[in-house]
Amino acid sequence: MEWNNVALMADELRFNDRTVTHATEARPFDSPMGALIARARQGDLAAFDQIITAHQQRVVGIAWRMLGNQDDALDAAQDTFLRVYKFIGKFDPSQDFAGWLYRIAVNVCHDLARKRGRGNPVSLDAEIEAGRFVEPSPHNTESSAMFAQEGRIIARALKTLSEKERAAIVLRDMEGLTTEEVAKVLGSTPTTVRSQVSSARAKIKLFRDRWLKKSAVQRTR
Amino acid sequence: MRCEHIEPLIPLYVGGDLEPHEADDVRQHLNSCAPCRQLHEEFQASQQWLTGAVVPKFDEASFAKLRASVLQEIERQEKRGSWLDRIEWLLPKWNPRLMLASATIALAITTGLVATIYHQQQIPAKGGNEAVAKMERRNGADLVNAVTGRTSSGNTQIATALHTGSQRKRQAASKLLPPEAFTNQGFSNALEPPVIPEETIVAESPAATQPGEKEKEQEMLRIEIQTADPNIRIIWLTPKADGHLNPNEK
């Protein structure tokens, strides 16, 4: 029964699902997730295991987009869940659990990036120079290598953003949270988030424009 | 609205982040402005490129490993925590005043211990030097007499003249004195005799005298001084009748 609920919740938090549903956490401990949280607060590791199962994909996805590689993403996810368990007793049940968890995930990613010397944005020129990119083409987008290549390019594009811009655009455009939800996760205001998102989109567009231009020059040689 | 007002709104417009009335303004402007429409298309393409990014698929094995490592770490931390819980009653509760007082006491104790140890290390050296100085003062005159072949009482009992002071003090002195003190250089000035262990002075060794020189020996006083270095022995021959070197002789 509980596993079915977990599967349902995992579906609601499905990675590419643009509509984020947090209905399960609307009322404290009444929902299946709320019950799991209550049990986890009592030290029930089986319940916490189910919480991880429900959120792992999304947390790893955020971490991967924030940090740009798989190993760091898994490390960040592990740290995130450890922190969640440590502080789950202080979690206010009237709040959105997923938002609280994503906030922890974002903070862990910032900490990890700083610890590994990757916290500061890199220059756009350096990132473009560093890559040996191929131009995206609608004819070969089915290729998994092309997907991987595009993923790496986007990861490089995200590296040109500041920490806050990166967090804002990852949560807003890539994870599909609303501006208000992003503001809650980041402990900010919707106006600030809008400003960060606008700036980030402009930088991403600039990166893409220059990358396309460079790829075109390489192709003509 | 003019282009410079619309352009900053386009990045938000493509993501649906504008208020409805702002979005209407942008939409109307785009219908009538080709450059802004071009910019809007570019932002749309960039937005689709970004949001279309696919996170690499993490297989179930990776997630299982992640869960296992998280749960193992929690169990490990809880085990460590329970061990700390058992001895928690031994630990003082956090109290800034108590901590400050404890730190002050600890600092005072440490300082006292360091001072005591330092003082104790200084005493033997100081005491030893004092003993040597005392021995020098007590034996200085006799030593000079011994070197010159006369004691204050006029006898040639060199060894006995120098045998003053306790055995312990002499041992301490011999330990503390540097090897240089036992060389013949330190003995150059008879008026300022060097500190040497008295037992190293060997007076008139008949065995060492040659039979042919017996008459000469009777007129000369022979003093052999064995320094701390076994390779260095000072042999002093001086006429017995020479009283100029004896400061005690008036």
What pLDDT, on a 0 to 100 scale, did the predictor assign at position B191? 42
What pLDDT, on a 0 to 100 scale, did the predictor assign at position B127? 53
| Mean pLDDT to the nearest integer, A61-65 | 90
For residue B15, the chain A residue with the least C-alpha distance is A173
Best of B12, B62, B70 to disrupt the A interface by mutation (most A CBs within 10 Å)?
A: B70
- A82 interaction partners in chain B (CB closer than 8 Å): 70, 73-74
| Contacts made by residues B27-36, CB under 8 angstroms, sequence distance 24+ | B28/B1, B29/B1, B29/B3, B30/B6, B33/B3, B33/B6, B35/B3, B36/B3, B36/B6, B36/B7, B36/B10
What pLDDT, on a 0 to 100 scale, did the predictor assign at position A59? 93
> Is a pLDDT exceeding 60 seen at residue B163?
no
Q: How many CB pairs under 8 A join A and B?
A: 101
Q: Mean pLDDT: which of A28-32, A42-46, B240-244 is highest?
A: A42-46
Instruction: Mark yes or no for CB contact A60/B66 under 8 Å.
Output: yes
| Mean pLDDT to the nearest integer, A146-171 | 84
| Mean pLDDT to the nearest integer, A137-152 | 57
Best of B50, B57, B63 to disrupt the A interface by mutation (most A CBs within 10 Å)?
A: B50
Interchain contact B61–A (C-beta under 8 A)? no
| Mean pLDDT to the nearest integer, B133-153 | 47
Distance from CA of B3 to the nearest CA of A (A): 16
Distance CA B71, CA A52 (A): 10
- ipTM of the predicted structure? 0.73
What pLDDT, on a 0 to 100 scale, did the predictor assign at position B199? 47
Best of A65, A69, A205, A213 to disrupt the B interface by mutation (most B CBs within 10 Å)?
A: A205
Which comes out higher in pLDDT, residue B129 or B50?
A: B50
Which comes out higher in pLDDT, residue B171 or A197?
A: A197
Distance CA B87, CA B107 (A): 25
Q: How far is CA B108 from the centre of its chain?
A: 21
| Mean pLDDT to the nearest integer, B53-59 | 73
Pseudo-torsion of CA B24, B25, B26, B30, nearest 10°?
A: 100
Q: Which residues contact B64 (CB under 8 A, 6 or more apart)?
A: none
> Is a pLDDT exceeding 60 seen at residue B142?
no
Instruction: Mark yes or no for CB contact B66/A173 under 8 Å.
Output: no
Nearest-by-Cβ selection for B12 from A57, A194, A208: A194
Strand order in the sheet with B201-203: B201-203, B220-226, B233-239
Segment 100-119 of chain A within 8 Å of chain B by CB: none
What pLDDT, on a 0 to 100 scale, did the predictor assign at position A74? 92
Distance CA A68, CA B57 (A): 14
> Is a pLDDT exceeding 60 seen at residue A23?
no
For residue B9, the chain A residue with the least C-alpha distance is A198
- Token pair 């298309």 in the structure block, residue: B41
- B45 interaction partners in chain A (CB closer than 8 Å): 208
Distance from CA of B179 to the nearest CA of A (A): 59
A20-29, A87-96, A114-123, B105-114: range with lowest mean pLDDT: A20-29
Nearest partner of B223 among B154, B156, B170, B155, judged by Cα: B156
Nearest-by-Cβ selection for A179 from B11, B17, B53: B17
Distance CA A133, CA A162 (A): 23
Q: What is the pLDDT of residues A67-90, one digit of tens each?
A: 888 888 999 999 999 999 999 998
Work out the number of other CB atoms within 10 angstroms of the CB of residue B142.
23
Confidence grade of residue A102 (pLDDT, cut at 50, 70, 90): very high
Confidence grade of residue B60 (pLDDT, cut at 50, 70, 90): confident
Distance from CA of A49 to the nearest CA of B (A): 7
Instruction: Mark yes or no for CB contact A78/B53 under 8 Å.
Output: no
> Is a pLDDT exceeding 80 seen at residue A171?
yes
Interchain contact A208–B (C-beta under 8 A)? yes
What pLDDT, on a 0 to 100 scale, did the predictor assign at position A189? 95
- B23 interaction partners in chain A (CB closer than 8 Å): none
> Is a pLDDT exceeding 70 seen at residue B6?
yes
Nearest-by-Cβ selection for B55 from A52, A61, A81: A61
> Is a pLDDT exceeding 50 seen at residue B153?
no
Cβ-in-10-Å burial (0-12, 13-18, 19+) of A121 comes to middle
- B71 interaction partners in chain A (CB closer than 8 Å): 45, 48-49
Which comes out higher in pLDDT, residue B102 or B244?
A: B102
What are the residues facing B225 on neighbouring strands?
B201, B234
A198-212, B19-33, B81-95: range with lowest mean pLDDT: B81-95
Segment 54-73 of chain A within 8 Å of chain B by CB: 56-57, 60-61, 64-65, 70
What pLDDT, on a 0 to 100 scale, did the predictor assign at position A145? 60
Distance CA A89, CA A85 (A): 8
Q: Mean pLDDT: which of A149-158, B63-72, B151-160, B234-243 is highest?
A: B63-72
> Is a pLDDT exceeding 70 seen at residue B126?
no
What pLDDT, on a 0 to 100 scale, did the predictor assign at position A13? 40
Q: Which residues contact A114 (CB under 8 A, 6 or more apart)?
A: none
What pLDDT, on a 0 to 100 scale, did the predictor assign at position A117? 73
Work out the number of other CB atoms within 10 angstroms of the CB of residue B177.
19
What pLDDT, on a 0 to 100 scale, did the predictor assign at position A125? 57
Question: Can you give the pTM of this predicted structure?
Answer: 0.55
Interchain contact A194–B (C-beta under 8 A)? yes
Q: Mean pLDDT: which of A186-195, B52-61, B224-233 is highest?
A: A186-195
Distance CA B199, CA B149 (A): 17
Q: What is the pLDDT of residues B62-112, one digit of tens each?
A: 899 999 999 999 988 888 766 666 666 566 566 777 888 889 999 999 999
Cβ-in-10-Å burial (0-12, 13-18, 19+) of B59 comes to exposed
Which comes out higher in pLDDT, residue B189 or B74?
A: B74
What pLDDT, on a 0 to 100 scale, did the predictor assign at position A220? 73
- B51 interaction partners in chain A (CB closer than 8 Å): 173-174
